[in-house]
Structure 1
Amino acid sequence: MDFSKLKKIYPEATLNKKPFLNEETFRMSYKNQWIHIPKHVLTEKEITILDLLKKEAQPDTFPSTQSKWFQFLEGSLEYPPQTESTIRLIQLVLEKIDNQFDHAIWIDSIAQIFESVLDVFFISQDTCYIIQGHNTKALTQTELYGMLKTLEDDFSIRTNAYIGQFWQPDSALKAILREERQIFQEEYDHLDYRINSLSDVALKYFTKEALAQSMIIDAMKEKILEQPDWKELIFALWENQGNISVAAKQLFVHRNTLQYRIDRFYESTGLSLKDMNDLLLSYLLVS
């Protein structure tokens, strides 16, 4: 398929590195990017034809799905499938998969190891969605990591996950899940952990636009990045809730050495890394 020819037919079509946008679009991969056409400019017949062209141009190497949840997320169903519980979306990106990877066995394994699974399906070669009901005790991120680690060992792959919140399956659900997908997509390359939730990414995601528009922030960020060891210092203190002794062990330096670096940082920036407000600001500056 030639994007320039498609663009002549659908002037609203765009080429983007991101698979999901804020609006509902018909999408297909194209030369390591994604073609997006707003669905509101397409008729049902046009969507059907484009789907056929998409399948012919890109035969899936992962199981196709007739999932109602998939259809709901993609916009072809207006309302979510009926369920008696709140639900959450767990997004998985699989790394290091090869031609021997069996998507069908992976789906079966997810359904067996996770409780209250309403659906499991792939939306691309390496992206798997789990729809989970809230009928059992909510697992911690540590417990979820242990479960995924078991699967990683069995399949010889690596996973990165975004664990969504539990939501009511009402009229607002589609927009909420679209935003969760957008968050994971935009933050994926900057995640600090393998298993992430809203609280892990909220500070950076919801403040980045305001921070990007501030000359004050730009000037302070430039000052901090002049010293190559300060970013590492800030991250170590942030990850350990400002505990100097634990951060020193993480950085393999003496506590007094770390204290000296903190004092130097304060003299240069006016920010005290012993103060949680200053530490938070410093973390946002270098994230």
Structure 2
Amino acid sequence: MDFSKLKKLYPESTLSKHPFMEEDTLRIPYKNQWIHIPKKSLDDKEISILNLLKEEIQPDTFPASQSKWFNFMEGNREYPPQTTHPVRLIQLVLEKMDDQFDYSIWIDSITHLFEPVLDVFFVTQDACYIIQDNTSQTLTQEEIYGMLKTLEDDFSIRTNAYIGQFWSPDNSLKAILKEEQRIFQEEVSHLHDRICSLSDVALRYFTKGALSRSTLMQELKKQLDEQPDWKELILALWTSQGNISVAAKQLFIHRNTLQYRMDRFYETTGLSLRNMNDLLLCYLLVL
């Protein structure tokens, strides 16, 4: 299949390294990337035909899950499997899997790496879910990243991860886990790091709707987008929590040069990156 030819048929289609997009798309694997076609631009017959094409390109070879947790999250089971402890969902999206990828060995490796786990299963060819309760060892994001990096080298893949919160196994658990799925699927293509939690994506996820509806905010965003260096400046200051010396090191420039750029930014926009409220506003606009 040639993407350029498909693009002529579906001009709204895009090519991405990420399997998920913000909008609902039909995904087709293509040369270690993903073709995304917005479903709103397709009718039922087109979706059926493209799904047949997708099966020809990459048959459904990942193991069908008999997991009770999978059935619970898919709505085929009313109550979660019996547990008295709070549980969390860890979502992994795998990139650049080739024909040699062995799902069963991957599941065994993940099970031993994150032990103890309640379950490990695939929901798509590239999305692996881990269910843990709070009796498991408490690990930092950095430690989890190190563990996954070991597997990446062994399996010749790249992983993106969302580390969920621990939630009580009550009546609201299914809705919470589904929302965590939706959050990660929409935010994975915007991650600065390949591993994240709710706090890492909450600002963008919960404010993007209001920002996109505001003419005022879109005009400010337009001003920032016109100067490509400003995004780098804002992100460096935000990640350093406004520390000019640390931000200058990140940007590989002298502290005085950074201050000069901040002054020019203020003169142009009227927003001071020395003020944390202004910095937060600019950060939201460049996410």
TM-score by length of 2: 0.80
Whole-angstrom CA distance in 1 between matches of 2:240 and 2:27: 41
Q: In the alignment, which residue of structure 1 is the partner of 2:73?
A: 73
Label 1:33 to 1:216 Cα distance change in 2 as closer, same or farther (>3 A).
Answer: closer
Label 1:280 to 1:99 Cα distance change in 2 as closer, same or farther (>3 A).
Answer: same
Whole-angstrom CA distance in 1 between matches of 2:231 and 2:27: 36
Superposition deviation, residue 162 in structure 1: 0.6
Q: In the alignment, which residue of structure 1 is the partner of 2:171?
A: 171
- 8 Å Cα contact 1:68/1:81 also seen in 2: yes
Q: In the alignment, which residue of structure 1 is the partner of 2:258?
A: 258
Alignment of 1:223-238 (within 5 A): 223-238=223-238
Label 1:101 to 1:111 Cα distance change in 2 as closer, same or farther (>3 A).
Answer: same
Matched, 1:124 2:124: yes
Aligned length: 249
RMSD: 2.6
Superposition deviation, residue 133 in structure 1: 1.1
Please give the secondary structure, in 2, of the residue aligned with 1:229. helix
Whole-angstrom CA distance in 2 between matches of 1:19 and 1:267: 36
Please give the secondary structure, in 2, of the residue aligned with 1:180. helix
Alignment of 1:1-287 (within 5 A): 60-287=60-287
Superposition deviation, residue 115 in structure 1: 2.4
Superposition deviation, residue 138 in structure 1: 2.0
Whole-angstrom CA distance in 2 between matches of 1:116 and 1:140: 16
Whole-angstrom CA distance in 2 between matches of 1:195 and 1:125: 19
- 8 Å Cα contact 2:95/2:157 also seen in 1: yes
1:212-255: CA deviation from partner (whole Å, max 9, x where unpaired): 11111111111222222111100111111111111111111111
The structure 1 segments of at least 4 consecutive aligned residues displaced by more than 3 Å after TM superposition are 17-22, 28-36, 56-59
Q: Which amino acid counterpart does residue 233 of structure 2 have in structure 1?
A: L
- 8 Å Cα contact 2:22/2:187 also seen in 1: no
Please give the secondary structure, in 2, of the residue aligned with 1:100. coil
Q: In the alignment, which residue of structure 2 is the partner of 1:10?
A: none
Superposition deviation, residue 73 in structure 1: 0.8
Label 1:139 to 1:185 Cα distance change in 2 as closer, same or farther (>3 A).
Answer: same
Label 1:120 to 1:136 Cα distance change in 2 as closer, same or farther (>3 A).
Answer: closer
1:241-280: CA deviation from partner (whole Å, max 9, x where unpaired): 1111111111111111110000001111111111111111
Please give the secondary structure, in 2, of the residue aligned with 1:77. coil
Whole-angstrom CA distance in 2 between matches of 1:29 and 1:244: 42
Unmatched runs of 5 consecutive residues or more in structure 1: 1-16, 23-27, 37-52
- 8 Å Cα contact 2:94/2:157 also seen in 1: yes
Determine what percentage of the aligned residue pairs are the same residue: 68
TM-score by length of 1: 0.80
- 8 Å Cα contact 1:21/1:182 also seen in 2: no
Please give the secondary structure, in 1, of the residue aligned with 2:148. helix
Whole-angstrom CA distance in 2 between matches of 1:105 and 1:98: 14
Label 1:152 to 1:174 Cα distance change in 2 as closer, same or farther (>3 A).
Answer: same
Unmatched runs of 5 consecutive residues or more in structure 2: 1-18, 30-34, 40-51
Whole-angstrom CA distance in 1 between matches of 2:20 and 2:282: 29
Whole-angstrom CA distance in 2 between matches of 1:69 and 1:177: 11
- 8 Å Cα contact 2:107/2:121 also seen in 1: yes
Superposition deviation, residue 35 in structure 1: 11
Q: In the alignment, which residue of structure 1 is the partner of 2:46?
A: none
Q: Which amino acid counterpart does residue 215 of structure 2 have in structure 1?
A: M
Q: In the alignment, which residue of structure 2 is the partner of 1:6?
A: none
Whole-angstrom CA distance in 1 between matches of 2:260 and 2:172: 51
Whole-angstrom CA distance in 2 between matches of 1:85 and 1:108: 23
Superposition deviation, residue 60 in structure 1: 2.4
